[in-house]
Amino acid sequence: MSPERPRVGLAVVGAGYWGPNLARNAQKTPAMRLEYLCDLDVDRARSVMGDYSTVRVVGSFEDVLADPAVDAVAIATPAATHYKVAMAALEAGKHVLVEKPLAPSFAEGRELVEAADRYGRVLMLDHTYCYTQAVGYLRNLIRDGELGDLQYLDSVRINLGLVQRDVDVLWDLAPHDLSIFQSILPDGVHPVSVAAHGSDPVRAGRACIVYLTVRLSNGVIAHVHVNWLSPTKIRKMVIGGSARTVVWDDLEPLQRLSIYDRGVECRDPEELGVDGRAATMVSYRTGDMVAPAIQDKEALGAVMAEFADSILQRRQPLTDGRSGLQVLAMLEAASASLAGGGEFVPVREVPAPTSDAVLPRIEVPA
């Protein structure tokens, strides 16, 4: 590393399940300098870093915020604390990368977004899946019109999961699917309303199985099935289009994406004679399937690179605070539907920035 090349000084906060992954990837990011791993449980943090590390381990978040060597913090604390930790960091002038969900409520999430705008700081969500090669490929397929008109999105994310104490399965798993949807949907398409049905058959005190139906502004349904109680693991998304359909199986590392040139199309009745109209108004295509070659890199490395780059370039990251806020809006509507009778609940709109300090959005090619 040449001395003149600027590096972002980072503190990782939280040494639980995900924090160690953030710390590991930060150390591999050339544009970063990992300064601290911070956790109230200092022994735990020390054991995460191991016996051979020069990275400092601290228990006091205040000390971290007070250190001018720290430009940014990556927050992997329990979901309920995200708002407080992130707000303190922003107020201390730090850039912030935060685990999903951005905050426990839309209102708090909006405050964070506004604070980042006001202070001119990067507020980025660690929507890790959005940085996989697979999602990048999907985004391009859809933007380039390769799929034709979008027909449906269906995501299944089930396995034997830890029944969390502070969130239900909806807030634990569905942010992945909702952030992926958001990342790949064509410009101008946004969620309108959400219905959620769930159950808690193990009497854990929170939903362990949830089915989520999102109505999009183009009339398309996006459906999500999240489940903590399944003994088999499924991570499968199907995105149907009029020209092609893609299946993304994240558990098939050698063939994550399968693009089918097969489908069903409605034909214009005018094109059909009387007989044709009587018999069918639909035509079928049976074509080949292509599984594109996709590099298998750890997405969290790309998250870290984007965080560093957006700070150094003084621009919004790909998964900025507003993207996290839109996910929050869907989660909140889903929770309201769950708590009610499963009816469709409107999704709140994400407000546009008003502050002068707000960082510019820059089109980031996938």
Pair of tokens at residue 273: 């004679």
- Between residues 155 and 316, which has the closer beta carbon with respect to a copy of itself? 155
CB of 269: closest distance to a copy of itself in angstroms? 10
Q: Nearest to residue 167, comparing CAs of 45, 81, 237? A: 81
Stretch that binds a copy of itself, among 48-56, 82-90, 114-122, 123-131 (CB under 8 A): 48-56
- Interacting residue with a copy of itself among 217, 280, 313, 355 (CB under 8 A): 280
**In whole angstroms, what is the distance from residue 84 CA to residue 108 CA?**
9
State which of positions 26-45 bind a copy of itself (CB under 8 A): 27-28, 34
State which of positions 2-31 bind a copy of itself (CB under 8 A): 27-28
- Measure the CA dihedral 283/289/290/291, to 10°: 130
Decide if 226 contacts 177 (C-beta within 8 A).
yes
- Interacting residue with a copy of itself among 3, 5, 203, 354 (CB under 8 A): 203
- Between residues 197 and 348, which has the closer beta carbon with respect to a copy of itself? 197
CB of 12: closest distance to a copy of itself in angstroms? 12
State which of positions 74-103 bind a copy of itself (CB under 8 A): none
- Interacting residue with a copy of itself among 87, 92, 204, 305 (CB under 8 A): 204
- Interacting residue with a copy of itself among 21, 53, 81, 105 (CB under 8 A): 53
Q: How many residues bind a copy of itself (CB under 8 A)?
A: 77
- Between residues 264 and 362, which has the closer beta carbon with respect to a copy of itself? 264
**In whole angstroms, what is the distance from residue 232 CA to residue 230 CA?**
5
State which of positions 205-264 bind a copy of itself (CB under 8 A): 205, 208-209, 211, 213, 219-221, 223, 225, 227-233, 238, 240, 242, 245, 247, 254-255, 258, 260-264
* Integer CA distances (angstroms), 247 to 10, 131, 255, 364, in order: 37, 18, 10, 25
CB of 306: closest distance to a copy of itself in angstroms? 20
**In whole angstroms, what is the distance from residue 250 CA to residue 235 CA?**
5
- Interacting residue with a copy of itself among 92, 281, 336, 366 (CB under 8 A): 281
* Integer CA distances (angstroms), 50 to 34, 55, 127, 285, 362, in order: 15, 10, 27, 57, 39
Pair of tokens at residue 336: 């309201």
**In whole angstroms, what is the distance from residue 35 CA to residue 73 CA?**
10
**In whole angstroms, what is the distance from residue 32 CA to residue 49 CA?**
17
State which of positions 119-178 bind a copy of itself (CB under 8 A): 149-152, 154, 156, 160, 162-163, 165
State which of positions 319-348 bind a copy of itself (CB under 8 A): 341-344
- Between residues 282 and 352, which has the closer beta carbon with respect to a copy of itself? 282
Q: Does 55 bind a copy of itself (CB under 8 A)?
A: yes
* Integer CA distances (angstroms), 72 to 76, 88, 92, 101, in order: 13, 12, 10, 19
With residue 276 as reference, give the H or E element that holds it: helix 274-279
CB of 240: closest distance to a copy of itself in angstroms? 5
